Amino acid sequence: MSRLELRGVSKSFRGLKAVSAASFDVAPGGIHALIGPNGAGKTTIFNVVAGVYAPDAGEVLFDGRAIHGLRPDQVCAAGVGRTFQIVRPFAGLSVLDNVTVGALQAIKDVPAAKKHAAGIIEKLGLSAKRDLPASSLTLPDRKRLEVARALATRPKLLLLDEVMAGLRPTECDQIVAIFRELNRAEGLTILLIEHVMRAVMALAQRIVVLHHGEVIAQGTPDEVVRDPAVLESYLGEETEV
């Protein structure tokens, strides 16, 4: 059974078809990437999976269970963690408190949740900034904070929306290593949206290509980069490999 399965998912905004009849699945323990040009509908797909929007049509299955129509907090409780492309830190709270909010999803006891949060902050290299307000963080650190908060909920599936944008290549490699390790050690399934092809090629076992809301190709990285439709509509324009 797939960890995540989309069957014919569509979502429009006032007539604009942001996603149309998208179908793909993510295997348990896999790392898959969702790529496509700006406005292709990638973030909208995350929002549908995470319960921000109910799809106009189609189904979203998580471990075989239908989750479309659930609220975001219910989707999170089911085991889906997500980051926001446009970061949404709890600006007035410390880094530790930000991550503790996520940890409280998995661990009800506050001191224990704090301890769990501190461990994740350590893992993401934010320990030095643990007690600073999130508002004082730089954008790359805010992206790390997004990841830390989502990870703290102990998800089975992690949705990462352009968390590497703006990172320097070495920072990018660091975070790639973290995701690999989480995937290997804890069997965490990851679906990531990324423009940085360096990260996509390094991480993804499978790639789904979206264009104008439609899935135009999917397969292994090798298959996808050779796909004529992909070359024409996407990679041809901005090859960053």
Ligand X SMILES: Nc1ncnc2c1ncn2[C@@H]1O[C@H](COP(=O)(O)OP(=O)(O)OP(=O)(O)O)[C@@H](O)[C@H]1O
- The site for other proteins (CB under 8 A) is made up of 50, 52, 71-73, 76-77, 81-82, 84, 88-93, 97, 100-102, 104-105, 108, 110, 113, 149-150, 152-153
44 or 98: CB nearest ligand X: 44
Residue 76 beta carbon to ligand X: minimum distance, rounded to whole angstroms = 20
Q: Cβ–Cβ contacts within 10 Å for residue 107, how many?
A: 18
DSSP secondary structure, 186-209, as one string = H--EEEEE-S-HHHHHHH-SEEEE
Q: Kindly list the residues in this chain that would bind ligand X in the complex (CB under 6 A).
A: 13, 16, 18, 36, 38-44, 85
C-beta closer to Mg ion: residue 10 or 43: 43
Q: Which lies closer to ligand X via its Cβ, residue 100 or residue 233?
A: 233
The CB density around residue 120, as the number of other CB atoms within 10 Å, is 20
38 is in the binding site of which of Mg ion, ligand X, other proteins, none (Cβ under 5 to 8 A by kind)?
ligand X
- For residues 14 and 108, which CB has a smaller minimum distance to other proteins in the complex? 108
